[in-house]
Structure 1
Amino acid sequence: MLHAHERIAVPPETRFLLSAYYHRRLHGDMRVVENRRRLAEWIATDKTTKFRELHLDRAAYVRKAVEGPGSLGSVIGEAFREYAQRFGKPRWGDKRPSYIKHLEVMLRLFPDAQFVHLVRDGRDCVASLKEMPWYPHDVFHAISTWRETIDLGRWFAARLPAGTYYELRYEDLTADPEAELARLCGFLREDFDPAMCEPRQVATVAVPAHKVWHSNTHREITQARVGSWATRLAPWEIALCEWVLGDRLRSWGYQVEECERPSAEHLLAYHRVATRRWLAWRKRVARDRISRLREPGPLEAMLTSGQLASVTVPPPRAPSAALVDR
């Protein structure tokens, strides 16, 4: 839907942003030309980055990253800017659900970023994750994922600067796309584009063909999957979801009937998984805090006027169209 907007480009999910950040000590100071070249070449050629799905000229991207500003965010952001320029658009986004755990990192790299958090009934999310060919975990992990996402979203919503974070419900979006997208455009400070209500028109570009689990993006907007958890989850899975997630589901307006307490075995399995996941996340945060004590070089992207202002660099007097942000 966002990619259908005349000014916004959102590529298929990539895999290089967080990896580049958390391995920044290995990549070195981006003020050094050769370090920019090595990082850009890794982004453009490594099979794990999914850069190939952007359908960009690799050599051209590497050249522009090398010639661009000497910061980690600039080298990373240049790939997305190239993607936006492919469609003649001035703004870009990136979609990856796991970013909710790294919003602080995202703001370190892109200080003028805006975040859109699309929330869906946790039971439908659990049912969906279980069926995904790329999801290797069990229902206990899936339940923990939704709970973490909701808790982190609310935590960031209370702390991020005004105009930075926006939440909306999947069910509301599919029920009344025009109204919800108009409100979203208001947050983004963009005019509403009716084409956003016809995402299937750009799905062949925005959604790689091999991602068959996104096949509904090629059709009319539908609510067919809303509430489908009732037939996709086993009774014990529904009971566990509603017992663990009940308060959070209700706070988002989802109906939760009174349910029986799940078995001790299932509750214990869930709490073990949830605790391990929480400890692993806290460990990663702690490691990053230590790394911040000695950064290898500048982090903030310097590709837009908003980014330049955040690092107290005056924007150019006559910026090219590619440098014009919102």
Structure 2
Amino acid sequence: MSPGPALRHDRPIFVFGCPRSGTTLLRLMLHSHARIAIPAETKFVLPVYTARCDFGDLRDSKNRRALAEWIARERSTRVRTLGIDADGLIDEIVNGPPTLGSAVGTVFRAYARLHGKPRWGDKRPSYSQHVGALLRMFPDAQFVHLVRDGRDCVASLMEMPWFDADIHHAISAWRETIDRGRRLAERLGPDCYYELQYERLVTDPADELTRLCGFLGEDFDPAMVHPEGLAKRIVPAGKRWHGRTHDAVTTDRVGSWAERLDAWEISLAEAAFGERLAEYGYEPSGLPKPAAAHLARFTRTAAHRRMAQSKAALRERWRQHHEPNPVECLLPAEHTATTAAP
């Protein structure tokens, strides 16, 4: 019998879910663990993976330095917000193994080291679309998928100042994420893929987090149940959409879609989600079926999104054929004292 995950304490952790499913709350809970460091969202992992061919052969130290400079100093990557010394990070990447995964891993390892923790992770809702890329860089990674009632996700998305699409795209985003999760569960298996539900997480955080820690091979840390203290220190007040993380974990927003969505929006979402809601135990509203015009427009939107995703997959296959180096992380294991900082 192969050893279980409890014997591994260094595997990267990637958290994803439909936008507005509670991934920021879960990230704060995991970061509250004495051994796990998960930063606020950066924007460098996927862009640098997409642009990997542009940096040339990373066996050339000049190319590694160009890559490191872009990661550490380009404002759009948000790496500067992590508090890592840029010069030291650049030198560490340049002196590290000549692969893209090693450079990416160096950033997160430096962040974990800054917080006195031996294990790192990252979270972005959109990672559900890029698990293949993450696995190419980190073959031993573990993936955590947070599921929330799709109607609550849609209602919250439609209120976000940064979401500039319509309700048809919001509904599609949840359905696509759920379907990807199903495929990943079959492909990766229970050692690499774990799913939990937002409603259970906020109802009984200790129980759900204990189960999650079991999957990760970590002991449960009681500090995980009270992420609000950490949130008050590290979640910017300007991000009003994360304001609820400053309060104690609550079930107040569970089922709030009933007041936040119009009847036709609820009907459309339920029709588009099909059996997916029931499979997670979410009760239907009992409203009539949506108008044919609404359903037809959603169908067109979903088809356009599938076409865009197919084109992106073709571009990715081209890049893999032309990439100058292997991308797998080759960093050696690093043992860090667990004197956790916020």
Question: Do both share a fold (TM > 0.5)?
Answer: yes
How far apart are the structure 2 equivalents of 1:30 and 1:112? Answer: 22
* Secondary structure of the corresponding residue to residue 70 of structure 1: coil
How far apart are the structure 2 equivalents of 1:125 and 1:304? Answer: 39
**Residue 265 of structure 1: which of 293, 300, 307 is its match?**
293
Q: What's the CA shift for 1:149?
A: 0.1
Q: Deviations over 1:56-79 (max 9, x none)?
A: 211111111111111101111111
2:184 is aligned with 1:184: no
2:239 is aligned with 1:211: yes
In the alignment, residue 63 of structure 1 is paired with which amino acid? D
Q: Which residue of 2 aligns with 1:321?
A: 336
**Residue 100 of structure 1: which of 121, 128, 132 is its match?**
128
RMSD between superposed Cα atoms in Å: 1.4
Q: Which residue of 1 aligns with 2:310?
A: 282
Q: Which residue of 2 aligns with 1:308?
A: none
Q: Which residue of 1 aligns with 2:102?
A: 74
How far apart are the structure 1 equivalents of 2:186 and 2:76? Answer: 34
Q: Matched residues, percent identical?
A: 54
Q: Deviations over 1:81-138 (max 9, x none)?
A: 1111111001111110100011111000111110000000000000111111111111
Q: What's the CA shift for 1:23?
A: 1.0
In the alignment, residue 209 of structure 1 is paired with which amino acid? A
How far apart are the structure 2 equivalents of 1:164 and 1:206? Answer: 29
How far apart are the structure 2 equivalents of 1:228 and 1:262? Answer: 20
Q: What's the CA shift for 1:43?
A: 1.3
Say if 1:12 and 1:208, in contact at 8 Å, map to a contact too. no
* Secondary structure of the corresponding residue to residue 94 of structure 1: strand
2:47 is aligned with 1:19: yes
Q: Deviations over 1:136-172 (max 9, x none)?
A: 1111100000000000000111011441000000000
Q: What's the CA shift for 1:304?
A: 4.3
Q: Which residue of 2 aligns with 1:84?
A: 112
Q: Deviations over 1:258-279 (max 9, x none)?
A: 3322112211211111111111
- Flag structure 2 segments of 5+ consecutive residues without an equivalent: 1-28, 338-342
- Flag structure 1 segments of 5+ consecutive residues without an equivalent: 306-318
How far apart are the structure 2 equivalents of 1:212 and 1:44? Answer: 27
Q: Which residue of 2 aligns with 1:312?
A: none
* Secondary structure of the corresponding residue to residue 158 of structure 2: helix
Q: Deviations over 1:14-38 (max 9, x none)?
A: 1110111111111222222111111
How far apart are the structure 1 equivalents of 2:216 and 2:261? Answer: 36
* Secondary structure of the corresponding residue to residue 265 of structure 1: helix
In the alignment, residue 58 of structure 2 is paired with which amino acid? M
Q: Which of structures 1 and 2 has the larger relative contact order (alpha carbons within 8 angstroms, sep 6+)?
A: 2
In the alignment, residue 77 of structure 2 is paired with which amino acid? T
2:256 is aligned with 1:228: yes
* Structure 1 consecutive aligned stretches of length 4 or more whose deviation exceeds 4 Å: none
- TM-score normalised over the length of structure 1: 0.91
Of 136-145 and 208-217, deviating more is 208-217
Q: Which residue of 2 aligns with 1:62?
A: 90
How far apart are the structure 1 equivalents of 2:285 and 2:233? Answer: 41
In the alignment, residue 79 of structure 1 is paired with which amino acid? V
How far apart are the structure 2 equivalents of 1:200 and 1:15? Answer: 24
How far apart are the structure 2 equivalents of 1:50 and 1:212? Answer: 19
In the alignment, residue 75 of structure 1 is paired with which amino acid? A
How far apart are the structure 2 equivalents of 1:46 and 1:128? Answer: 31
Residue-pair matches, total? 309
In the alignment, residue 126 of structure 2 is paired with which amino acid? S
**Residue 47 of structure 1: which of 49, 52, 75 is its match?**
75
2:153 is aligned with 1:125: yes
Q: What's the CA shift for 1:244?
A: 1.0
Q: Which residue of 2 aligns with 1:314?
A: none
In the alignment, residue 96 of structure 1 is paired with which amino acid? R
Q: Which residue of 1 aligns with 2:280?
A: 252
How far apart are the structure 2 equivalents of 1:58 and 1:275? Answer: 43
Q: What's the CA shift for 1:257?
A: 3.5
How far apart are the structure 2 equivalents of 1:5 and 1:168? Answer: 18
Q: Which residue of 1 aligns with 2:188?
A: 160
Change (3 A) 1:198 1:320: closer
Q: Which residue of 2 aligns with 1:301?
A: 329
Q: What's the CA shift for 1:287?
A: 1.5
How far apart are the structure 1 equivalents of 2:30 and 2:229? Answer: 12
- TM-score normalised over the length of structure 2: 0.87
Say if 1:10 and 1:206, in contact at 8 Å, map to a contact too. no
How far apart are the structure 1 equivalents of 2:207 and 2:101? Answer: 34
Say if 1:200 and 1:217, in contact at 8 Å, map to a contact too. yes
